[in-house]
C-alpha cells in the first residue's frame, strides 16, 4: 500500500462537477454560451464560456493555449477598472485558474505562491507580479463594500485551492498550518479538517488522527464515507487494519448519492476503498465503479479509473478499451484538438470577450 499516493486523492468533498463529455459537445456548449452572451449582454455567460474554454484547452494537454486564454480573459476586466464586486471576481477568476493549471502540471508550490501573491495584492490594493507581468489592483473595486465582498471570495479561494496546491506538492505540514491560519478547520469534514487528520496520520500519529476524526460532525452521507476511508487509512498505517473498517468503507460508499454531477467524487472515494481493501471484501465497489464509468461516459471518471493501478489490473480488455475510448473522445491529454474544434473554440472565446467589453463599457457609462 502506498499511503502517500492514496492521500493525494484528498481532500475529498462532495462538490458538483460538470461531466467531461465528448470534446465536440463541450466546444458546442462554449459556442452556445458565447452566443447567449452576445445576444443578452450578460457577463455571466461570457465569463463561464471563457473559463470553460481555458479548462478545455488544459484538458486537451494544451497548457500554453490555456494560459493565453486565461490572460486574455482577465485583461479585458483589468482594463475596465474600477469594478463592482462581481465584476472584480470575474477579473480574478482567470488568475486563480492559472494556479489550477500549475497544480495540473505538478507545480503545487508554484500554484500556492501565485494564489498567495494574488490574495495579498488584491487585499492590500497593491501590485502583483504573475507570470512575469506586473498587475495593479489599486483601483480594482468601486467601493469599500465591493472590496470586502471580493476579499471574502478570495479567502474561500485561498483556503480551498491553496490547500489543494500544498497537498499536490506533498506539503502536508504546510497545508495543515495553512488551513489553521485561515480558520479552515471546523467540525465538519471539509477540506481543512481532512488535511488536519491526514497530516497527523502521515506524520506518524495515526492514533491521534483517529481520535480527531471521531470528534468530527458528520452531517451528510458523503462525510461518513470520507471518514470511513480516512479511518481505514489510519488503521492501515498504524499496522492494525481490521475487517470492520473495510466493511464500513464499503457500506458507506455504496450508500453515496448517485447524482451524475458527483461522479468524480464518488469514483475517487470508491478507488480509495479499493486501495484499502481486497477484491473479495469490496466486490460490489469494484462492480459499481466500472458500471458508472461505462454508463456516464465521463472522461474525468474514466481517466481516474484507468490511473488506479490496483483497479486497472482487475478490468477486462474490453473494459479498458471502452474507458480509453471515453478518454480519447473527451480529448483528455491528447496534446491537441481537431483543427475545426479549436477554431470553433477560439471563435467562441472572441465572441465572449467582445460581449464582455461591450457590457463593461455600458456599465462604466452609467
Instruction: Quote the pTM value.
Output: 0.93
- Is residue 9 predicted with pLDDT exceeding 50? yes
Q: How far is Cα 163 from Cα 183, in angstroms, rounded to an integer?
A: 12
In order of 73, 217, 224, 333, the CA distances from 139 in angstroms are 18, 42, 45, 39
| pLDDT tens digits, 149-202 | 999 999 999 999 999 999 999 999 999 999 999 998 999 999 999 999 999 999
Domain map (residue ranges) of the chain = 3-79+171-364
b/e string for 321-349 if b means 16 or more Cβ within 10 A?
ebbeebbebbbbeeeebeeebbebbeebb
Quick one: pLDDT at residue 42? 92
Q: How far is Cα 22 from Cα 262, in angstroms, rounded to an integer?
A: 18
Q: How far is Cα 222 from Cα 148, in angstroms, rounded to an integer?
A: 32
Quick one: pLDDT at residue 281? 83
Amino acid at each position: 500500500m502506498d499511503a502517500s499516493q492514496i492521500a493525494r486523492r484528498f481532500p475529498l468533498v462532495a462538490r458538483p462537477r460538470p461531466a467531461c463529455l465528448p470534446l465536440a459537445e463541450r466546444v458546442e456548449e462554449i459556442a452556445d454560451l458565447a452566443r447567449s452572451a452576445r445576444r443578452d449582454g450578460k457577463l455571466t455567460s461570457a465569463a463561464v464560456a471563457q473559463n470553460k474554454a481555458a479548462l478545455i484547452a488544459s484538458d486537451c494537454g494544451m497548457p500554453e493555449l490555456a494560459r493565453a486564454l486565461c490572460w486574455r480573459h482577465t485583461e479585458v476586466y483589468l482594463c475596465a477598472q474600477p469594478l463592482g464586486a462581481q465584476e472584480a471576481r470575474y477579473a480574478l477568476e482567470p488568475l486563480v485558474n492559472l494556479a489550477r493549471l500549475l497544480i495540473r502540471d505538478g507545480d503545487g508550490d508554484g500554484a500556492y505562491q501565485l494564489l498567495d501573491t494574488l490574495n495579498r495584492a488584491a487585499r492590500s490594493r497593491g501590485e502583483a507580479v504573475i507570470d512575469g507581468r506586473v498587475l495593479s489592483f489599486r483601483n480594482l473595486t468601486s467601493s469599500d463594500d465591493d472590496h470586502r465582498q471580493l476579499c471574502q471570495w478570495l479567502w474561500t479561494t485561498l483556503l480551498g485551492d491553496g490547500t489543494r496546491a500544498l497537498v499536490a506538492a506533498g506539503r502536508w505540514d504546510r497545508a495543515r498550518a495553512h488551513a489553521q491560519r485561515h480558520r479552515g478547520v471546523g467540525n465538519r469534514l471539509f477540506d481543512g479538517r481532512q488535511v488536519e487528520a491526514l497530516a497527523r496520520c502521515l506524520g506518524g500519529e495515526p492514533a491521534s488522527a483517529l481520535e480527531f476524526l471521531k470528534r468530527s460532525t458528520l452531517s451528510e452521507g458523503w462525510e461518513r464515507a470520507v471518514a470511513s476511508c480516512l479511518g481505514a487509512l489510519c488503521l492501515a498505517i498504524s499496522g492494525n487494519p481490521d475487517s470492520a473498517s473495510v466493511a464500513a468503507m464499503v457500506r458507506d460508499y455504496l450508500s453515496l448519492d448517485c447524482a451524475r454531477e458527483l461522479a468524480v467524487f464518488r469514483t475517487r472515494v470508491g478507488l480509495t476503498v479499493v486501495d484499502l481493501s481486497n477484491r473479495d471484501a469490496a466486490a460490489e465497489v469494484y462492480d459499481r465503479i466500472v458500471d458508472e464509468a461505462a454508463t456516464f461516459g465521463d472522461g474525468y471518471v474514466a481517466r481516474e479509473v484507468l490511473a488506479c493501478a490496483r483497479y486497472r489490473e482487475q478490468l477486462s480488455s474490453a473494459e479498458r478499451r471502452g474507458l480509453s475510448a471515453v478518454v480519447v473522445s473527451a480529448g483528455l491529454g491528447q496534446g491537441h484538438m481537431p483543427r475545426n474544434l479549436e477554431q470553433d473554440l477560439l471563435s467562441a472565446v472572441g465572441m465572449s470577450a467582445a460581449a464582455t467589453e461591450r457590457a463593461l463599457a455600458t456599465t462604466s457609462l452609467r
